[in-house]
Amino acid sequence: MMIDRLNIWQKIGLYIATFIFLLFILMPFIEMFRVSLRPMSHLMTADFTWWSEDFSWQAYRDMWVTVPLLGRYIFNSVFIALCVTVATMVVVIPGAYAYARLEFPFKSLSLGGFLAVNMFTGAVLLIPLYRVLRQLSLLNTYWAMIIPGVAFLIPTGIWLLRSYLEKIPRELEEAAYVDGASRLYTLRRVVIPLAVPGMIVVSTSVFIGAYAQQFLFAITFNNVRELQPLPAGLFEFIGYQDTTWNEMMAAALTGVLPVLVFFLFLQKYLVAGLTAGAVKE
Amino acid sequence: MANTGQSAPIMARSGLSEAAFAWLLISPALLFIGVIVAWPLAETIRLSFTNATLGGEEYIGLANYAELLSSPKFYDTVGRTFYWMFLSVSLKLVMGLIGASLLNAALPGKALFRILVMPPWVIPVAIGVIGWKWMYNGYFGLISGLLQEFGIIQDRVALLATKTSAFYSAVVTDVWVGTPMVTLFFLAAMQGVSRDLYEAAWVDGARRWYRFRRITIPQIMPVIVSMALLSAIWTFNSFEIIWILTEGGPRGATTTLIIDTYKVAISSQRFGEGAARAVVIVALLALFSLAYLYFLNRVNRHYGAK
């Protein structure tokens, strides 16, 4: 299209601007990688330099000794996020269906109530939450990090999935009813299969929410090392005089790599999810 | 919303009424929110009228609130929190608009750029912040090093060690964490704008900047507006970033309400006083949201568009 045509200077300008923008976004990762390649003694003694001759992968071997539970932390992070995602979806699917399809008293009021939950983060409610979890004897278990996570992701999940379900033609369901199918059967056999793309999108964004924000609940409700997710596990080693920064950076990058690669494959769904959520309202 | 009539035949079949079935479907969600959000909220309000600690609790009326309201330090914290929120959210929205426009341009390679913008959003927030904490350090950190190299400063500077620089460093990191999501939301919205509008304007000879101002911005306004509110709430309550960078220091320079609450309630286990702070946060956010929505409504009515 003519309208999209850019002259060579506009193109160069846009590339430079995009480069600067992405540099801001990626700089911490580039720097973490650079640090992870350098021996600690050189990092601490020399002035800042861009490039040096001493690059090596040594930190990627040493980190397993310095952080003996690193493998466990990486597993915990993914495991907790997966559990949160599954539990959230189990609760969100029927809820979103009710809001998309059924009429009932207090419908918009209760939906508004759900959305108001967004105003609280776990941090505001930590004190009583701590007591609830202690009463249920869930402190220092995986549950202490899973259950609060689920509660705070339900509202957005319902909101997002509802907009997907509303796009499924009502006639299909009515046809099933006419054929004598029960409501639950229709939900299971007609609605859910049609909603699969939407559910992938919503569970992906729930997973991101659960994976990105495990730190607070982990440092507050859990002090069993073996159960800590990656950020909380690494945080223990950071901020002291003798922090081996190169190994910490190596561990951090190694820890997020599996999930990052996984998201590269799912990025199509991520953007689709945003489109549904954002453009709708 | 106007399809009540359509579902009438569905209602007729099973024994359960439509309303009862609906409530059955949302009951797990309600139960979760009830136990993990609503009850703790009520409990927080109750605790704020007590002097609860690990040892026990006693009703002390409004004493916690009276203490807060008479403490100049607390007003500082409130002011700092709002400044933190306005500054960080504005920057996120500006960065998001710039980023989305760049990623939306018809450039070869844009698919790759869209992927490259995601990492800060999809990794644990705390991991990215650990990277920033390193970059801010004075001896061998990247930022201090670069500033020296370009001759902007003479000596090494530990950015997190002085009050002003620590605050703005935390803002930069917060903007960094928030920008990818805002960018992708705006990008999605921009792609939803009808091409016909642009083409009509283009035929009329409208230049790019004009099209951006008069078509793109008004068309994606609803998304900007809702993103601004969500982002404001999250930023107000943003905990991890400040906690990992500075734990609220140096000398309180980065202590926002949420950090203050955490320190009082969890670190020093003064539950009652912490709860009063939490209630203040909820009240301020509720007031802010209502005011925001109210003004939004008036602006919308004024321009006669939703």
Reported as a single tens digit per residue, the pLDDT across B51-81 is 888 778 888 888 889 888 888 899 999 999 9
The confidence score (pLDDT) of residue A2 equals 61
Q: Could you tell me the two tokens for B207?
A: 């230049």
- Mean pLDDT highest for which of A26-40, A67-81, B15-29, B147-161? A67-81
Nearest chain A Cα distance for residue B10, angstroms: 7
Contact B185/A182, CB-based, under 8 Å? no
Which of the four pLDDT bands, split at 50, 70 and 90, describes residue B2? very low
Q: Could you tell me the two tokens for A197?
A: 């793309």
Between A185 and B169, where is the model more confident?
Answer: B169
Which of the four pLDDT bands, split at 50, 70 and 90, describes residue A20? very high
Is residue A246's pLDDT more than 70?
A: yes
Reported as a single tens digit per residue, the pLDDT across A180-217 is 888 778 878 888 888 887 888 888 888 988 988 888 88
What are the residue boundaries of the structural domains of chain B, listed by start? 47-303
Contact A120/B37, CB-based, under 8 Å? yes
The answer, for B21 touching chain A at a CB cutoff of 8 Å, is: yes
The confidence score (pLDDT) of residue B63 equals 85
What are the residue boundaries of the structural domains of chain A, listed by start? 69-280
Which of the four pLDDT bands, split at 50, 70 and 90, describes residue A59? confident
* Angle at which helices A245-280 and A142-165 cross, to 10°: 30
Q: State the fold for domain A69-280.
A: MetI-like fold (1.10.3720)
A158 vs B29, B102, B265: nearest CB: B29
Phi, psi of A32 (to 5 degrees): -60, -40
Scored b (16 or more CB within 10 A) or e, B181-205 reads bbbbbbbbbbbebeeeebeebbeee
A119 vs B98, B125, B233: nearest CB: B233
Average pLDDT, stretch A3-30? Answer: 87
Report the percentage of chain A scoring pLDDT > 90: 17
B:172-231 residues touching chain A, CB 8 A cutoff: 176, 179-180, 184-185, 187-189, 191-192, 198-199, 202, 222-223, 226-227, 230
Is residue B4's pLDDT more than 70?
A: no
**In contact, B18 and A102? CB cutoff 8 Å:** yes
Instruction: Locate the DSSP E strands across B147-305.
Output: none
Reported as a single tens digit per residue, the pLDDT across B250-273 is 888 889 999 999 988 888 888 888
Residues of chain A neighbouring B192 (CB-CB closer than 8 A): 275, 278-279
For domain B47-303, say whether CATH 2.130.10.10 is its number: no
Asked whether the CA dihedral B68, B73, B74, B76 is positive or negative, the reply is positive
The answer, for A35 touching chain B at a CB cutoff of 8 Å, is: yes
Write down the mean pLDDT value for chain A. 83
- Going by C-alpha positions, the residue among A110, A129, A120, A126 that lies closest to residue A153 is A120
Distance CA B5, CA B279 (A): 43
Q: Could you tell me the two tokens for B236?
A: 């107000």
Sorted by sequence, the CB contacts under 8 Å of residue B66 that are 6+ apart come out as: none
Tell me the ipTM for this assembly.
0.84
Q: What angle do CA A87, B129, A277 make, to 5 degrees?
A: 45
Is residue B13's pLDDT more than 70?
A: no
Using alpha carbons, list the distances in angstroms from residue A131 to A207, A220, B35, B44, B59: 26, 12, 12, 11, 18
Q: Could you tell me the two tokens for B177?
A: 């964490």
B:34-73 residues touching chain A, CB 8 A cutoff: 35-37, 39-41, 43-44, 47
B286 vs A105, A119, A238: nearest CB: A119
